[in-house]
Amino acid sequence: MNLIRILLFLFASGLLYAQDTIYVASEPNYPPFCIVNENGEADGFSVDLFKETAAVMGLKVIFKVDTWNIIKEELANGGIDALPMVGRSREREEIYDFTFPYYVLHGAVFVRKGTSEINTLEDLKVKDILVMKGDNAEEYVLRENISSNVISTDNYETAFRLLESGGYDTVIAQELMGLHLLNILGIDNIIPLELDLPGFSQDFSFAVHNGNTNLLAKLNEGLAIVIANGRYDEIHKKWLVPIEKQAPITFKELLKVLIYVIPTILILISLIAILVLRFEVKRRTKALKKEVSVRKQAEQAIEQQLSEKEIILKEVHHRIKNNFTTIGNLLSLQANSIENPDANFILQDAISRVNSMSILYEKLLLEDEYMTTTVKNYLTNLIDEIIKLSSGEREIAVEKQIEDFQLTPKKLFPLGLIVNELLTNIMKYAFTDRDSGIIEITLKEDQGNVILFIQDNGIGLPEGFDISKSTGFGLTLVKMLSQQLQGNFTIKNNDGTISTLEFII
């Protein structure tokens, strides 16, 4: 805990936020995440978590309650500022901006007891399926064409009542929510089937109006603080532990949360803030130079302003670089003091990731020509640094075929993070007990489509490996960054492994 407090202090000390008022809406009947208490007020796990997150950032929250189909449209139209619980999907990423996920739910097919004719997804094709209007279950059923008979209701209470009455075949909903709602309604003749719904595992986050980057940054930072200071666990225990009946968190699981989530989120928030600041300084500099050409008498004052801004920017860069170094040193000290091999491995992995992100920062954000940096120049230097950092005494040959074209920093930065994670994984696992190896990296652009191939001649993936079920932090981060690029990522065995990423410029 002392380590986390020091990390939080480095990034949060000296930042005081004026108390802003934000307007948030919650649905009334999605237990135990969003409900209405006996006083008619918004309540539940997600509501409490949002209130706590806003409080640590000095934000005043005014909640209102309405049906899901109405409040999601209000957020899309800018009528409210945020929603406390929204399942992240590709369709919704075009409408809202999301914080990092704070909970994962899995979908289920609910039927009346005694139902025996539904055993596969194909059996659902001719069945009547009840869903809530506007819910991610409705989006999933329609997108995957699960059935041609889909009935949308205003809420899941109505859906379960209709299923109980015998007029319909199934309800598709998030399993945890459904079980809790059935318990509240006193319905005991409806159960979830043990039927897998591929692709219906939902990450839930806070959502803000598209483009509200200021509020998004505050909620991301506040959520990270709430997780670190233990309030998340308290809220989770209040609302969800009695339902989940999970075993107490182990030391290894706790260490993973502290080491991966908090430093990574804080570093990403800081990098985004620096990138925005750099764009703003460039824009202001251009405007000031134009003014100098038509107003010579103001030249001295303008030059003074430019000088002050450059000093501030250099100071910010200096602090960010120092924070990278300090984080790495603190993690190294902690690793040296821990004898547990699993915990030490996790810390060493975190040290490697901090070092890699420091390289990304140096190569992209500190270059004077970062606005016009070519993909070939940026990735070539980045790849050489990563290989140099992690190859040790092994002889690793790297064959690069990278076309020379340009990407915006918004695309180039996540692409660099993906390359970093894939190369780091290869260097760590592909050449185990080997003194040499070959890595082939190809990046090309074809009519607006960018295609990345990274192939090695290592030991390959474990037998039965399924990327959709992988829980490793590195591949999870790669999948999240691929979604941010609105791209498609695959990895498979091919005399070693071959990873493929495709996205549109």
Tell me the three state secondary structure of residue 485: coil
Q: Within a 13 Å sphere around the CA of 77, how many CA atoms are in the beta-carbon half?
A: 7
How sure is the predictor about 208, in pLDDT bands with cuts at 50, 70 and 90?
Answer: very high
What pLDDT sits at residue 463?
85
**pLDDT for position 25:** 97
Cα–Cα distance between 106 and 172 in angstroms, integer?
11
Question: CB neighbours of 3 closer than 8 A, spacing ≥ 6?
Answer: 258, 330, 331, 334
Structure tokens at 451: 């295609």
State the pLDDT at residue 17: 41
Provide the pLDDT for residue 364.
Answer: 62
- Is it the case that residue 15 has pLDDT exceeding 70? no
Instruction: Provide the β-strand partners of residue 205.
Output: 86
pLDDT at residue 299 greater than cutoff 90: no
Q: What is the pLDDT of residues 457-476, one digit of tens each?
A: 999 998 888 887 877 778 88
pLDDT in tens, 174-207: 888 899 899 999 999 999 998 888 878 778 999 9
d(CA 12, CA 41) in angstroms, rounded, equals: 32
pLDDT band of residue 145 (cuts 50, 70, 90) is: very high
Extract the tokens encoding 175.
């399993």
Locate 126 and state its tokens.
């001719």
271 — pLDDT class (breaks 50, 70, 90)? confident
Residue ranges of domains in the chain, CATH in brackets: 2-101+204-244 (3.40.190.10), 104-201 (3.40.190.10), 251-366 (no CATH), 384-505 (3.30.565.10)
Task: Report pTM.
Answer: 0.44
Interhelix angle 213-228/2-12, nearest 10 degrees: 160
Q: What is the pLDDT of residues 411-453, one digit of tens each?
A: 888 898 899 899 988 988 899 888 899 999 999 999 999 999 9
13, pLDDT greater than 60: no
Other C-beta atoms closer than 10 Å to the C-beta of 251 total 10
Res. 373 pLDDT band, cuts 50 70 90: low
